[in-house]
Amino acid sequence: MDAIHLGYMTTILEVQNLTKSFRSLKAVDDVSFSIPQGACFGLLGPNGAGKTTTIEIIEGIKKPCSGEILYKGKPRDRKFSEQTGIQFQSTALMDYLKTHEVLTLFAKLYPHSQPIDRLIELCQLEEFLDTYATRLSGGQRQRLLLAVALINDPEVLFLDEPTTGLDPQSRRNFWSLIRDIKSQGKTVLLTTHYMEEAELLCDQLVIMDKGKIIADGSPETLLRQYFDHSYVCIDQRDFHGDISALTNPAEEREDCIAIATNTVEKTLAELVSLNINLRSLRVKNPSLDDLFLKLTGHRLRE
């Protein structure tokens, strides 16, 4: 698949024909893309799609079997390590260190670091500075780890599924932090299996499945490319008819019957004529989750 290029933006990272195999498993299969400077770039896909392996190769943690990665048009060197920050899927924090002590410790590891007070404000750490890191809630822990990833004031920030396991409110608070960081001109590379997260945060993305890129572009472009309809949705408990009798294609989802239509009024009139209870009716536009289903035949969460 061709790499993504945005002519009006400077490319900061280029991934060229990346492959990585573990014995007989090809985890990353000839993957290529470019990341514009200052963008939030998403790697999407289910567990096992190759997202984490790809991001770990870019970070320099794993070596590829083949392929090349360029940073600002050149092979990565020491400058790349100095100008990047990483928030891993899982990071162990030191026992018996409080939040402010963790920040102080990591700040000493770099020749140049951001003022700790600035990170405390940016990542909203004020309320638990004197709490031991091992006693933080999931959302508090992720905010601290984000501050640690930002402590060297990186140009590129890697976030590997940073909101996995968080409750919905903590996840949305974290999204707000990412928007604030992006507004500072930093480039963010985000892996996630939450399609809603990608739609809200990402300027550009690639969708991966089984080690390959199956779609790339901005969320808006991809949805326009693959869909020309909306969905009329009704809770399954309210739909007692035969979906095969409907004029438009319909599918049974976990919680609803979803009818694809580009003439919502006609679909509503048909449902009324079939005496379908409309109390739970809602109209929604296709999402990236719908796109993933269209491309792979299964939903992302499966």
What residue has token string 């969905």?
A: 231
The CATH number of the domain covering residues in 11-224: 3.40.50.300
Secondary structure (3-state) at 150: coil
* Residues facing residue 40 across a β-bridge: 188
The pLDDT value recorded for residue 18 is: 96
Tokens 């030191």 correspond to: 94
Enumerate residues 6+ apart whose C-beta is below 8 A from 162. Answer: 87, 142, 145, 146, 174, 190, 192
Strand partners, 252: 257
Question: Which distant-in-sequence residues (6+ apart) come within 8 Å of 57 by Cβ?
Answer: 18, 20, 28, 63, 64, 67, 69
Give me the residues paired with residue 234 across strands. Answer: 257
Q: What is residue 136's predicted lDDT score, i.e. its pLDDT?
A: 92
Strand partners, 188: 40, 157
Q: pLDDT truncated to tens, each residue of the chain (302 aa)?
A: 444 444 446 999 999 999 999 988 999 999 999 999 999 999 998 888 999 999 999 999 999 999 999 999 999 998 898 899 999 877 778 888 999 999 999 999 888 889 999 999 999 999 999 999 989 998 899 999 999 999 999 999 999 999 988 888 989 999 999 999 999 999 999 998 888 899 999 999 999 999 999 999 999 999 999 999 999 999 998 998 788 889 999 988 888 999 999 999 999 999 999 889 999 999 999 999 889 888 887 776 64
In the sheet with 66-71, reading across from the earlier edge strand, the strands are 25-36, 11-22, 66-71, 74-75
Q: What is the pTM of this model?
A: 0.85
